[in-house]
Structure 1
Amino acid sequence: MTDRPGDRRKPHTGGLPKTEPLSPSQLRQNAAAKHMLRRLVQGENPPTAPMSIVDRLAGSPYANPMIQVGGVDTSARKTMDFALHLAESMFRYGAGALEVETSIIAVTAALGLKNIEVDITNQSVVINYAPKDQTPISLLRVVRSWTNNYAGLAKVHQLVTDIVAGGVGRDEAIRRLEEAITSPKPFPRWMVTVAFGVFSAAYVGVLGGGPGASAIAFGSNILISLLARQLGRWRVPDFFTTASCSFVVTFLALVLWQFGVTAAPAIVVVGGILLLLPTGRLVSSVQDAINGFPVTAAGRFLSTMLTFGALVAGIAVAFVAGALTGMQPIDITKTFPPAYDLWFVVILIAIAVMAIGITEQTAWKLLLPTAGVGVVGYLVLLGAGAMGIGDRFSPALAAVVIGLLARVLALKMGAPQLVVAVPAALILLPGLTIFRSMYVLTIEESEILLGAGGMLRAAAIVLGAAGGIVLGDTLARPLTRSLASNERRRARRR
């Protein structure tokens, strides 16, 4: 049977309910819901999309660099050599891996180089330049020496800021970098030596030692400063130099205590060994670990632990030598009331922080701001202790405040955060706890667990303070975006 022409049969619905067509508003709502679901599941970018290297500048003072164009690729090798020289200088002066990486990326981007990759380890920097359809170039620079020169680090930081602002070409940048490297340090050697003694004398007064203890600390620190300089001339490794200095200051304090010259040998030793602690290296290692540079962080952690080991070894040998020569054991549980009023202690803190800045060769203009940050951190430490926060958490809280203020002040004055934060935070380190724990471990063998617990407690305080500085730096980033922009606008006007 065939259908007749024009005979159309309706499809069989089988009793299914009829659906009404959707209105335009319903269609828009469904589309919006599908779009939101797609964003939640997939994200805005493909999950395997590579990250642009310039995106590493986000949150740094060098975000959105001013790109210079015009025949840059023809001299890419010169630009890469300059960037490596810049990175080597920053590492020598104590900069962290993230700061070095962002400086390289910012400089190469501002000078017109694209397709750059940077790899940083503990002692080396590698830059790879691979333009499309051209022969790639890879350059390596190894950092073999370190020096205290925060003023030089601040000059390099300012140079990078000016390059990113677009006001400095490559030839001018090379000249300024060479000038920053070869220019003399702000303070002569004799002044640095005196600053060692001034810091020790001031900090002993903060701990509760009187004028006599401060005078002994001043003299002993002058002695170990001269000793360290002489051992450096003889190319003695840093480990043995640090151990020798801690031995001398400890044994000298014990001898003077035996003859009744001082009643506070522990405080004298603390004032002597605190500047030997690798504070800057520790802060940089914690910063590198948090910011995703595990190899660099591991290398700096190892170097830091060796320095701590050298300090402990020197103190232990001094105790053993004292016991063998018949010296009476000291009472490490003895506490000392404040020797001065709070207002005078605050002045001593400011003097101590400025002395640290001189030993680190900080620029003159940064000494008073650094002292102010140190005083604020010390007051926060006292306030946290009065509130019952605890001896381990209070230094970390004070370090957060120091790290935050240091970033704001440093960027405002054209310097990296480390230059202000490290000298200001040295007063937070538990030198007295380290001394007492080492004494128990070395002399009182029956209390070895107590000594080991004290060393772990000291390590927790030190790491907490270093982590607090890095946290403060991170918290201050939203507050310093305008400071970086203002600095770059000033550089353009120059």
Structure 2
Amino acid sequence: MAVTKVEVTAVWFAQRNRPARSHNQPRFVRDRRVDSQVPAVQGPALPDEATVHYVLDLAVRIGEVQMSSGAGASDATATIIAVANAYGLPHCEVDVIFTSITVTCHRGVDYPPLTSLRVVRSRSLDYTRLALVERLVRDITRGRIRVRDAHIELNKITTAPHPYPRWVATLAWGGMAAGITVLIGGDALMALFAGLITALVDRVGRLLNRRALPFFFQQVVGGALATTCALLLVASGVLPDDTRPTLVVAAAITVLLSGLSVVSTVQDAITGYNVTAAGRTIEVSMMTAGLIAGVVLALNVAVSLGLPPQALADPLAPSFFRLPAQIVAGTVAAASFAVASYATPRAVLVAAVAGGAGAGSFSALAIAHVGQITSAAVAATAIGFAGGLLSRRLRIPPLVVAVSGIVPLLPGLSTYRALFELAVERTITGLPTLMGAAGTALALAAGVVLGEYLAQPVRYGLGRLERRLSGPRLAGPLRPTRRRLE
């Protein structure tokens, strides 16, 4: 027999005030009474709203320092979540899109979420600042410092001047060019001129940067200046005929390529941060295009003025007799890059060892007639693996060791050969050479990321925790994080 709406209403009013409820009551009556007695769902126990804003601001500022220093989006995300969790914010979502960082703290269904946004405006290499921020993050995650004290410490880190004067960095860039010149087959005289020209390029770039010239045009000026100086040395007869002046340009190109964030670009692509990887790819492509434009412009101007550019010399054949010199050159180049990037003294020593090991392994594989791209990938994987094992124990960000270690192996000579073939010789053979140079750069970056990933399961004291990570960590805390969708 069907129950009418009037009867249902009468039953509900009759049962609403009874202290005991029979199991024979209609289901809709029991559900209505139970729902009326359940309290509203509350969110997680969080600090007050002002403290939440304070913690979020601290977290995004730390992430900004990491991103501006070349760290990957996954590293910045892991760091921000770790800092937020350490100060009692367990439900945070992080969105990194290359030039901005957004963090949202969820406070349940009864309170609106709180969001903090930070724009990454400048990108400069200061590995001392990155190391100090890493130490601050360790203190935060271990409960050693309060949030307001952490804010004060972070302000001191970000406002402190560089640990070395600017002229020291200029000398370091020149030393890096000299080491690379010896590594790719030059002698002492060529190394001297390469160092002087690179120092000049650095000072000119410094002046242009003060006037806010976009980095693309700074790369154009740097590539054109380095090529022009080398061609003038050849035309003036300063360099003997038996020297290899093209190595000067190759060394300068390598120095200009070293400032590009190739490692973090590949890391973001591998770990699934595709939006950030796309932004970094465009930046690297534009900087490389500016460098290519500068070199080609200088070569074409030289030809139009009747200055015969020096023909490309064949690279020296791999030899065991040159292996010790190449190891020393790689060590000098990596250490010089670390000093130019304002790394700590301990990081400079580790970077020097990584650079020497990378140059030695690459040269040994070349002697064994292994291809250039394969040799670069194997050497970079060894650098990433060793750096992942040693840098954490020595309290050094693995990013410093990884980038410094692969700098001597960047394909500066191959890039110049490709541009010379395209701009001067007008042959299509320059395209395969240029693609080979790009493949070598990608192999170096991917090898470093793979080496850091392979080092996680064998790193001392981590074991099962490390295997839970979603990808390699070149900066930030070693803690599992939730995957975020872009």
Q: TM-score, normalised by structure 2?
A: 0.82
Cα deviation per residue 1:85-144 (whole Å; 9 max; x = unaligned)?
A: 111122122211111000001010111112211111010111111211112112211111
Structure 1: where are the runs of 5+ without partners? Answer: 1-68, 489-494
Matching residue's letter, 2:80:
I
SS of structure 1 residue aligned to 2:396: coil
Q: Find the counterpart in structure 2 of residue 476 from structure 1.
A: 455
The aligned residue for residue 357 of structure 1 is 338
The alignment status of 1:328 with 2:304, answered yes or no, reads no
Counterpart of 1:288? 268
CA, structure 1 residues 351+329, in 2 after alignment: closer, same or farther (shift >3 Å)?
closer
Identical positions, percent: 32
Distance 1:238 1:74, change over 3 A: closer
Counterpart mapping for 1:46-445 below 5 A: 71=47, 75-132=51-108, 133-262=110-239, 263-278=243-258, 280-336=260-316, 341-445=322-426
Q: 1:73 touches 1:113 (CA, 8 Å); kept in 2?
A: no
Return the alpha-carbon distance in structure 1 between the equivalents of residues 460 and 100 of structure 2.
30
Q: Say whether the 8 Å CA contact 2:95–2:102 is kept in structure 1.
A: yes
Higher mean C-alpha deviation, range 383-392 or range 361-370: 383-392
CA 77–255 in structure 1, closer or farther in 2 if over 3 Å, else same: same
Distance in 1 between the 2:174 and 2:383 partners? Answer: 24
Per-residue CA deviation, residues 425-474 of structure 1 (Å, 9 max, x unaligned), is 011111111101101111122x22x1111111111111111110110111
Shift of 1:303: 0.3
Structure 1 CA distance, aligned partners of 2:345 and 2:338? 9
Moved more, 305-314 or 74-83: 74-83
Note the C-alpha offset of 1:359: 1.1
How far apart, in 1, do the equivalents of 2:314 and 2:368 lie?
24
Amino acid at match of 2:101: V
Query: What SS does structure 2 have at the residue aligned with 1:154?
Result: helix
Q: Give a deviation string over 1:377-401, Cα, whole Å, max 9, x none.
A: 1121122223332111101110001
CA–CA separation in structure 2 for the residues paired with 1:142 and 1:312: 30
In structure 2, distance between residues paired with 1:335 and 1:376: 22
CA contact (8 A) 1:392 1:460 kept: yes
SS at match of 2:369: coil
SS at match of 2:461: helix
Tell me, yes or no, if the aligned pair for 2:335 and 2:352 is still in contact at 8 Å. yes
Segment of structure 1 superposing worse, 85-94 or 456-465: 85-94
CA distance in 1, matches of 2:405, 2:262: 14
- Taking the aligned partners of 2:82 and 2:90, their CA distance within structure 1 comes to 11
Q: Aligned partners of 1:78, 1:483: CA distance in 2, in Å?
A: 31
Give the CA deviation at 1:422.
0.3
Contact 1:95 1:284 in 2 (8 A): yes
Aligned-residue Cα RMSD (Å) equals 2.3
What is the alpha-carbon distance in structure 2 between the residues aligned to residue 135 and residue 150 of structure 1?
38
Residue identity opposite 1:267 in structure 2: L
Tell me the distance in 1 between the aligned counterparts of 2:81 and 2:445.
26
**Alignment length (residue pairs):** 419
Distance in 1, matches of 2:390 and 2:220, equals 35
Residues 434-473 of structure 1: matches in 2 within 5 Å?
434-445=415-426, 447-448=427-428, 450-473=429-452
Take 1:177 and 1:413, find their aligned partners in 2: how far apart are those partners? 22
Q: Following TM superposition, by how much is the alpha carbon of 1:70 offset from its aligned partner in structure 2, in angstroms? A: 8.5
CA distance in 1, matches of 2:366, 2:418: 21
Over 3 Å counting, the alpha-carbon distance change for 1:338 and 1:456 in structure 2 is closer
Distance 1:279 1:474 in 2: 23
| TM-superposed deviation, 1:376 | 1.1
**1:314-353: CA deviation from partner (whole Å, max 9, x where unpaired):** 1100110110111124321433468985334322221211
* Deviation of 1:244 (Å): 0.5
- Judge conservation of contact 1:350–1:374 (CA < 8 Å) in 2: yes
Contact 2:265–2:280 (CA under 8 A) maintained in structure 1: yes
- SS of 1:119 mapped into structure 2: strand
